[in-house]
Structure 1
């Protein structure tokens, strides 16, 4: 009888033992948590910006809430190697977007955002410039926190910095369009 453990496949999900013992592929729970957590954070962010004008019952809201993280997870899943460019970018995009939303909800919900938002609101006219500045701040906070996490785990490389910069611009555009500008 062989000691070899064969991979288990469940509807396209490949779960195989890793050389060190544990199991690879059980990241589904993490990914599902990221998807649901990100969607809830997006809904909370929209509610904090739009107030009573925002209905949490709209299909467009939830489709938009799920889309960025779903695309990130798809990019992660289509790669044949966890070190492939699409896999790295997908993980970074999903993580940076979720961290940015979490920072936004925590800062706005606690009132700490008023420290810098009040200055921006008083210094700029209502319109695009105000929301571009706020989008850059929140995307920068998320990207900065994500960079610190990468440094703490010593996973930062030049490639991940380039991917991080790319994801900053994607998160920036997502904040500007999906959180501040487009009404559902």
Structure 2
């Protein structure tokens, strides 16, 4: 069971939404700002990264799902050094989906793949099914069209995205779908 967010966590989430979204000059809409994150890690901290957590500069605890989502949105080039300051790994800085690939995902998914979602296609985000931060590639078979809320749900593990017969499907939480069947949105068909 997920614990409810504390008052400082809710305030931080609201502030992050305000700070990472700016209005565009092209008539109503907004554009996401990519956060810049400075991360200091030791090799032993990377051994079990999936269960790790973090704290903001103000002491608010970030659970693993929120941390991963923030890291996915940030410009990060992970550099891993050993105890002698020798470079062990130097990662990639971008995981953005090129325009041609975005069009291909939208042609296949039409919109958000979560059943019942009616978010317009222009607001769709592109989710890496195998996470980019774990080496997942930015290619059609590894991408799914999700609305912002569903994208956050997928990044935090509240919903799961799986590929069935070459198409991304959603497995909803057990309290919504006790059968845990892979499903796709039919609104756009």
So what's the TM-score if we normalise by structure 1?
0.27
Higher helix share: 1
Higher strand share: 2
So what's the TM-score if we normalise by structure 2?
0.27
Higher RCO, 1 or 2 (CA under 8 Å, sep at least 6)? 1
